[in-house]
Chains A and B, each alone.
Chain A
Amino acid sequence: GAVVSQHPSWVICKSGTSVKIECRSLDFQATTMFWYRQFPKQSLMLMATSNEGSKATYEQGVEKDKFLINHASLTLSTLTVTSAHPEDSSFYICSARDEGAWTEAFFGQGTRLTVV
């Protein structure tokens, strides 16, 4: 199946700093990528839909100025957590769909963010 690579797999940062997470589709083009957040022992919550060449669509309650999303090419989307705080510590996962709505989404390995 298609491969989605997410980097880094884990990161520790200090409060107030910014962290960038990359999501790449390695063998297909993804006009749309999705960013999820997963709290311990909970399900995945969609944060935003990343659209190549246009602004991301954020879910209700997600701060767009806090979680900056850039989808500059058909194979790369980035999520930047700005001015990180300990409550931003979480597991972030990206996914991409090859085409249409019938194919499955392919998920990155996830990024464990810890803000100290």
Chain B
Amino acid sequence: AQSVTQLDSHVSVSEGTPVLLRCNYSSSYSPSLFWYVQHPNKGLQLLLKYTSAATLVKGINGFEAEFKKSETSFHLTKPSAHMSDAAEYFCVVSENAGGTSYGKLTFGQGTILTVHP
């Protein structure tokens, strides 16, 4: 079985300051992990993905995430927030072997990021 927990439902930062969105996961098998961003009434756009290669993953728009197996975490960071980063962010896990969860995506509860001028 797999699950995802996003530790913060809301994060508020000032423009130009760092962003940290936290995500913990559990998985019975070797997982793939993703971060998606969703703007209001829009579909989801992939920011970055971890697929067992480098543990530090760089994505679009200056975002990056580090896979830490010992901590079962995949936190999303950005050095300097921009107003256009305001959106909802989802951490997603997918199991890659066996079980009924194979290939299915499990979503975290989402984190709403607000960026103040």
Whether B104 pairs with A93 at a CB distance below 8 angstroms is no
Query: With contacts defined as CB atoms under 8 Å apart, how many contacts are there between chain A and chain B in the complex?
Result: 53
Whether B96 pairs with A109 at a CB distance below 8 angstroms is no
Whether B43 pairs with A44 at a CB distance below 8 angstroms is no
CA distance A104 to B94 in the complex (A): 9
Count chain A residues whose beta carbon lies closer than 8 angstroms to a beta carbon of B: 25
Whether A1 pairs with B41 at a CB distance below 8 angstroms is no
Which residues on A sit within 8 Å (CB–CB) of B52?
A: 102
Q: Does B77 contact A (CB under 8 A)?
A: no
Whether A46 pairs with B104 at a CB distance below 8 angstroms is yes
Which residues on A sit within 8 Å (CB–CB) of B104?
A: 34, 46, 49
Whether A107 pairs with B41 at a CB distance below 8 angstroms is no
Binds A, one of B68-76, B79-87, B106-114: B106-114
CA distance A95 to B96 in the complex (A): 18
Q: Does B67 contact A (CB under 8 A)?
A: no
Interface string of B85-117 (1 = CB under 8 A from A): 000001000111000001111011110000000
A positions within 8 Å CB-CB of B: 1, 4, 6, 32, 34, 42-46, 49, 91, 93, 95, 97, 101-102, 104-110, 112
